[in-house]
Amino acid sequence: MRPSVLIIDDDPTFCLMLKSFLSKRDFATATAFSGAEAILQVKKENFDVILSDFRLPDTDGLELLKEIREIKPGMPVIIMTSYADIRIAVKAMQNGAYEYVTKPVNPDEILLTINNALKREKETVAIIPPLQSNNNNNQPPKKKSPKNIFEYIEGESDTAKRIMSYIDVVAPTNLSVIIHGESGTGKEYVAKMIHQKSKRMHKPFVSIDCGALSRELAASELFGHIKGSFTGAIVDKTGQFVYAEGGTLFLDEIGNLSYEIQVQLLRAIQERKIRKIGSNQDVEIDVRIIVATNEDLQESVKKGAFREDLYHRLNEFTMVVPSLRDRGEDVGVFAEHFLNLANQELNKDVEDFDDEVKGIFRKYSWPGNLRELRNVVRRAVLLTSGELVKKETLPHEIVFEKREEVSGNHTNQQPVEQQPGDLKSLAEKTEKEMILNTLIKVNYNKSKAATILKIDRKTLYNKMKLYKILTGNDEG
């Protein structure tokens, strides 16, 4: 049976072009020109992949994504957006989109992204099997994660070395770990490294994207259910806690879990027991918990969105994975690695980036972090016909990134220019690192951190806001 794709865009010409392109490559296609029309089709048909423009006449990509996830939770949605909306695209990824592509869409790029989505469509979590096993029959089937979209290597900066030192310290223990960081910074990689360096390394590593779990199915995914326990439960289901037995359970975007699921998760951690939906029997578990978030969970606790007792259970050790823009020394290392991956994936033989491209990469702010860098490099390799990646293969918005400068009542758009190092920027970098290190040492107790730093608590809050410490959201 041919894989089916729903194309959602209010431009009929673009829809026709994409429909024709995919039909020639043996895809069954359907089109919708508005969000409302798309929802009607999603309710009637089972598509393998949805390809949606972010800006629609009656809705936007985030709202449409939310509605689609409520109707068909496991359906992969690829968002199409202009590069000017890259931060919105990152937000869509946080809310469960499979991937984003930038307009103008390159046909080969969109085909590659759709095929990658199809490979992962049947599974919604990732299980890394034991490195060694004497009984393969007891292991769950291998699964792939929709969020595991890039490989990752260690950087060369002091920041990268500091992250590895924290991993080395916490890995041998059984402490629960909270990993903070913006979307796309490699939090899952850090969790995997902790697992691989722990005593549980020969047991499963199970990864769950909490942002992609609907409220209705989260409990079933985590704890399992028995046949007939609710509408749609036509067979027994084993939860991911059981699959992770003896190993590590990684819960990405933990802040997206509903309050009710948080209660059940707290019980599982405290009592080391779980119960399938519809069952009256408990199952004992031995699982290490690592969670990741791009939110400030302490603020969520204050607002009543996250249980304080669960937060303290999880917060036995905290790490922060910095954004790519804060580790400029590593951009070249990651770009070279992604170049090699793209060559393998696309059967190309591009050797390097020219000096102008390397300079652009160093200056760009990378709001989408490693995920964005990987996508940009892959697209550039796809468009490169020679040995070197040239500026012409990069999105215009990266080459000419704009920043806002406010003068009086007017906001001027100015191109970002590389500036030589100065004492002020050096001092700010040093101050940020000092605050971050102190917060980590005191497990983010702001009163203790302020005392150690010899500043008042309000000043600490202001500086954390200035340096965007512990935040990955729009409000900073």
- At 329, which CATH number? 1.10.8.60
Question: What's the whole-number mean pLDDT along residues 25-30?
Answer: 92
Q: How far apart are CA 101 and CA 104, in angstroms?
A: 9
CATH of the domain at 30: 3.40.50.2300
The total of other beta-carbon atoms located within 10 Å of residue 430's CB is 10
Same domain, 27 and 95: yes
Claim: this prediction has a pTM higher than 0.85: no
What pLDDT score was predicted for residue 247? 95
CATH of the domain at 133: 3.40.50.300
What pLDDT score was predicted for residue 404? 42
Q: How confident is the model at residue 413 (pLDDT cuts 50, 70, 90)?
A: very low
End residue of a domain, out of 259, 291, 320: 320
What pLDDT score was predicted for residue 213? 76
Same domain, 295 and 349: no
What pLDDT score was predicted for residue 132? 34
Q: How confident is the model at residue 408 (pLDDT cuts 50, 70, 90)?
A: very low
What pLDDT score was predicted for residue 203? 93
Query: For residue range 232-262, what is the model confidence (pLDDT) as tens digits?
Result: 778 888 889 999 999 999 999 999 898 889 9
Q: Out of 200-214, 359-373, 423-437, which region has the weakest mean confidence (pLDDT)? A: 423-437
Q: Out of 42-51, 368-377, 404-413, 444-453, which region has the weakest mean confidence (pLDDT)? A: 404-413
Whether residue 296 has pLDDT greater than 50: yes
Number of domains within the chain: 4
The residue ranking higher by pLDDT, 98 or 174, is: 174
- Please tell me which of 147-161, 323-337, 350-364 the model is most confident about, judged by mean pLDDT: 350-364
Question: What's the whole-number mean pLDDT along residues 450-465?
Answer: 81
Query: For residue range 433-457, what is the model confidence (pLDDT) as tens digits?
Result: 778 877 877 777 788 888 888 787 7
End residue of a domain, out of 120, 153, 180: 120
Q: How confident is the model at residue 470 (pLDDT cuts 50, 70, 90)?
A: low
Whether residue 131 has pLDDT greater than 70: no
Same domain, 286 and 149: yes
Q: How confident is the model at residue 358 (pLDDT cuts 50, 70, 90)?
A: very high
For the chain, give the percent of residues with pLDDT over 70.
84
Residue 424 covered by a domain: no
Mean pLDDT of the chain: 81
Residue 420 covered by a domain: no
Q: Do the Cβ atoms of 236 and 225 come closer than 8 Å?
A: yes
Q: How confident is the model at residue 199 (pLDDT cuts 50, 70, 90)?
A: very high
Strand pairing report for 402-407 and 410-415: antiparallel
What pLDDT score was predicted for residue 29? 93
End residue of a domain, out of 299, 320, 341: 320
Whether residue 266 has pLDDT greater than 90: yes
Same domain, 146 and 187: yes
SS (H, E, C) the chain: CCCEEEEECCCHHHHHHHHHHHHCCCCEEEEECCHHHHHHHHHHCCCCEEEEECECCCCEHHHHHHHHHHHCCCCCEEEEEEHHHHHHHHHHHHCCCCEEEEECCCHHHHHHHHHHHHHHCCCCEEEECCCCCCCHHHCCCCECCCCCCCCCCCCCCHHHHHHHHHHHHHCCCCCCEEEECCCCCCHHHHHHHHHHCCCCCCCCEEEEEHHHCCCCCHHHHHHEECCCCCCCCCCCEECHHHHCCCCEEEEECHHHCCHHHHHHHHHHHHHCEECCECCCCCEECCCEEEEEECCCHHHHHHCCCCCHHHHHHHCCEEEECCCHHHCHHHHHHHHHHHHHHHHHHHCCCCCEECHHHHHHHHHCCCCCHHHHHHHHHHHHHHHCCCCEECHHHCCHHHHCCEEEEEECCEEEEEECCCCCCCHHHHHHHHHHHHHHHHHHHCCCCHHHHHHHHCCCHHHHHHHHHHCCCCCCCCCC
Q: Which domain holds residue 35?
A: 4-120
Question: What's the whole-number mean pLDDT along residues 18-25?
Answer: 89
Establish whether the linkage from the previous residue to 104 is cis, with ω within 30° of 0.
yes
Residue 421 covered by a domain: no
Whether residue 317 has pLDDT greater than 50: yes
Question: What's the whole-number mean pLDDT along residues 159-178?
Answer: 92
The total of other beta-carbon atoms located within 10 Å of residue 36's CB is 14
Residue 287 covered by a domain: yes
